[in-house]
């Protein structure tokens, strides 16, 4: 058998082999480069929200600090543009040191490291030059690994993402209407609910970028939140219901005609109606028990029975079943003027009228003033609150 030579450079197989497809080791690597990337990459970030495209979808950045954000966007664009010879099947991104140390790889394996070597990020487009380093093996007869370096320039431009285009254009998909049953929403409730909604929206926006609040409008009876997504409006209504109780309903309003599909375009109103009860309300049930509302939440109400002075929790189902409803009453302060084993005598602090009542199930002190409530001609002593 005669000696073989590299057809490209003429070196003998003894010296430069083993030959691969007729090429010496060096020529094989030269003829089959692994790093096939472009020299320039263009990418963009949203100037309104900092989001950028990752895997084809707009995502929020990890960092909102502008320098870090620009590098985050550029790094991502670089990683997404990595293109290697088709025989490379397994790519690992590593640090420069690990790459330097690596001397052997399986066929089809590659290590890549990259680092910025020069950048101008004071204004847009931001320009970052990266040095990319790759080691790879694509043939089992390779004595030495491919080791290639390349400089790639990434341009980061500003744009407005589709979500922000809609947001800035005043777009909304649904209205979340926060109301209360048979009453107007109180000031404190409004503040609490607005806070809850803002917290919840932050959470929702992590998954649903359209879940923004376009606007909120204070009305006499409640608050309207103009929302970027119906799903988000529903989630908020649910969150409010879990905290305060109430009922949710939806209505659809025809707002126009989609001529292309000759279909009506609808807008959803999601309405959460809070219970009519508020803390401190005096209520009765169908058995005639009188209660003071102590606490309200998503599950039901904590009610203080004004006769036994014991608290009980009734869930919303029970409240409905027992016909719990507000009752006409009069609140007053009265002083204990005398106590007998069965009765207590009080004096109304406004009118100075005195009256007797069955001694309540709590300890009373002569000369002290207590909050009372009069319901249907009967007096009840309420527990003092701070
Ligand atoms: Zn050669
Ligand atoms: Zn945006």
**CA–CA dist 318, 284 (Å, integer):** 13
Q: How far, in Å, from the CA of 231 to the mean position of ligand 2?
A: 19
pLDDT higher than 80, residue 118:
yes
With vertex at residue 130, the alpha carbon angle to CA 126 and CA 136, rounded to the nearest 5 degrees, is 150
Q: How far, in Å, from the CA of 134 to the mean position of ligand 1?
A: 22
**CA–CA dist 173, 365 (Å, integer):** 61
Question: In degrees rounded to 5, what are phi and psi of residue 75?
Answer: -55, -45
Q: How far, in Å, from the CA of 354 to the mean position of ligand 2?
A: 70
Instruction: Return the pLDDT at 90.
Output: 94
Which residues are close to ligand 1, an ion, with C-beta < 5 A?
A: 6, 8-9, 24, 27
Per-residue pLDDT band at 258 (split at 50, 70, 90):
low
On the 0-12 / 13-18 / 19+ scale of CB atoms within 10 A, 100 is: middle
Instruction: Return the pLDDT at 174.
Output: 94
pLDDT of 53-63, one tens digit each?
999 999 999 99
Q: How far, in Å, from the CA of 162 to the mean position of ligand 2?
A: 7
Q: How far, in Å, from the CA of 242 to the mean position of ligand 1?
A: 75
Mean pLDDT of 175-190: 94
Angle between the 187-205 and 230-244 helix axes, to the nearest 10 degrees? 130
For a pLDDT cut of 70, what percent of the chain falls above it?
97
Q: How far, in Å, from the CA of 23 to the mean position of ligand 1?
A: 5
**CA–CA dist 76, 238 (Å, integer):** 36
Q: Which one of 3.30.450.20, 3.40.50.1100, 3.40.50.720, 2.40.50.140 gives the CATH number of domain 282-381?
A: 2.40.50.140
Instruction: Return the pLDDT at 332.
Output: 92
Instruction: Return the pLDDT at 80.
Output: 95
Q: How far, in Å, from the CA of 46 to the mean position of ligand 2?
A: 5
pLDDT higher than 90, residue 129:
yes
Mean pLDDT of 279-298: 93
Instruction: Return the pLDDT at 382.
Output: 87
Q: How far, in Å, from the CA of 7 to the mean position of ligand 1?
A: 7
Q: How far, in Å, from the CA of 230 to the mean position of ligand 2?
A: 19
Per-residue pLDDT band at 363 (split at 50, 70, 90):
confident
DSSP string, 238-300: HHHHHHH--EEEEEEEEEEEETTTTEEEEEEEEEEEE-S--TT-EEE-TT--EEEEEEE-SSE
Instruction: Return the pLDDT at 255.
Output: 74
3-class SS of residue 381:
strand
**Ligand closest to the CA atom of residue 21:** 1
pLDDT higher than 80, residue 263:
no
Q: How far, in Å, from the CA of 176 to the mean position of ligand 1?
A: 72
3-class SS of residue 386:
coil
Instruction: Return the pLDDT at 206.
Output: 87
For a pLDDT cut of 90, what percent of the chain falls above it?
82
pLDDT higher than 70, residue 217:
yes
**Ligand closest to the CA atom of residue 26:** 1
Instruction: Return the pLDDT at 92.
Output: 95
- The mean pLDDT of the chain is 92
pLDDT higher than 70, residue 361:
yes
**CA–CA dist 60, 65 (Å, integer):** 13
Residue whose tokens read 């009373």: 364
Q: How far, in Å, from the CA of 164 to the mean position of ligand 2?
A: 4
**Beta strands at 343-348 and 325-326: parallel, antiparallel or unpaired:** unpaired
3-class SS of residue 128:
strand
Paired tokens of 331: 């609140």
**Number of other CB atoms surrounding residue 57 within 10 Å:** 8
pLDDT higher than 90, residue 358:
no
pLDDT higher than 90, residue 243:
yes
pLDDT higher than 90, residue 30:
yes
Instruction: Return the pLDDT at 266.
Output: 76
Mean pLDDT of 376-383: 88
On the 0-12 / 13-18 / 19+ scale of CB atoms within 10 A, 174 is: buried
Q: Give me the residue spans of the domains in the chain.
A: 1-31, 38-161, 170-274, 282-381
pLDDT higher than 70, residue 211:
yes
Task: For residue 72, give every residue at least 6 positions away whose Cβ sits within 8 Å of its Cβ, in sequence order, or none.
Answer: 52, 61, 62, 63
Tally helices (H) and strands (E) across the chain: 8, 22
Per-residue pLDDT band at 1 (split at 50, 70, 90):
low
Per-residue pLDDT band at 2 (split at 50, 70, 90):
low
Instruction: Return the pLDDT at 17.
Output: 79
pLDDT higher than 80, residue 261:
no
Q: How far, in Å, from the CA of 29 to the mean position of ligand 1?
A: 9
Q: How far, in Å, from the CA of 165 to the mean position of ligand 2?
A: 7
Instruction: Return the pLDDT at 384.
Output: 74
Dihedral Cα 5, 10, 13, 14, nearest 10 deg: 130
Mean pLDDT of 73-87: 95
DSSP strand E in 306-353: where? Answer: 311-315, 325-326, 330-339, 343-348
DSSP string, 156-212: EEEE--HHHHHHHTT--SEEEEEEETTBPPPHHHHHHHHHHHHHHHHHHHTT-TT--
């Amino acid at each position: 058998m005669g000696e073989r030579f590299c057809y490209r450079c003429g070196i003998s197989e003894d010296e430069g082999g083993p030959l691969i497809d007729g090429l010496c080791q060096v020529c094989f690597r030269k003829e089959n480069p692994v790093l096939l990337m472009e020299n320039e990459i263009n990418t963009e970030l949203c100037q309104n929200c900092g989001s950028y495209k990752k895997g084809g979808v707009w995502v929020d950045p990890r960092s909102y600090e502008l320098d870090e954000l620009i590098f985050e966007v550029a790094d991502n664009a670089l990683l997404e543009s990595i293109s290697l010879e088709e025989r490379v099947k397994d790519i690992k991104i590593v640090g420069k040191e690990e790459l330097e140390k690596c001397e052997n790889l399986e066929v089809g394996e590659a290590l890549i490291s990259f680092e910025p070597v020069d950048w101008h990020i004071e204004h847009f487009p931001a320009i970052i030059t990266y040095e990319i380093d790759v080691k790879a093996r694509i043939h089992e007869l390779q004595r030495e690994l491919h080791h290639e370096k390349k400089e790639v320039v990434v341009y980061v431009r500003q744009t407005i993402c589709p979500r922000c285009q809609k947001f800035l254009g005043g777009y909304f998909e649904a209205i979340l209407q926060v109301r209360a049953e048979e009453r107007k929403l109180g000031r404190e409730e409004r503040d609490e609910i607005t806070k809850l909604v803002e917290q919840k929206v932050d959470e929702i926006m992590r998954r649903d970028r359209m879940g923004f609040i376009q606007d909120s409008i204070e009305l006499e009876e409640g608050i309207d939140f103009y929302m970027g997504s119906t799903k988000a409006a529903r989630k908020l209504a649910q969150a409010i219901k879990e905290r305060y109780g109430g009922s949710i309903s939806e209505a659809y309003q025809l707002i126009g005609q989609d001529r292309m599909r000759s279909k009506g375009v609808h807008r959803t109103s999601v309405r959460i109606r809070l219970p009519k009860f508020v803390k401190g309300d005096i209520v009765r049930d169908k058995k005639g028990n009188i209660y003071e509302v102590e606490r309200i939440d998503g599950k039901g109400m904590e009610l203080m029975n004004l006769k036994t002075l014991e608290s009980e929790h009734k869930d919303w189902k029970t409240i409905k079943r027992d016909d719990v409803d507000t009752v006409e009453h009069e609140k007053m302060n009265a002083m204990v003027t005398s106590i007998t084993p069965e009765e207590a005598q009080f004096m109304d602090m406004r009118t100075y009228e005195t009256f007797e009542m069955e001694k309540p199930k709590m300890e009373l002190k002569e000369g002290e003033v207590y909050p009372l409530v009069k319901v249907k001609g009967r007096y009840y002593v309420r527990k003092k609150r701070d």
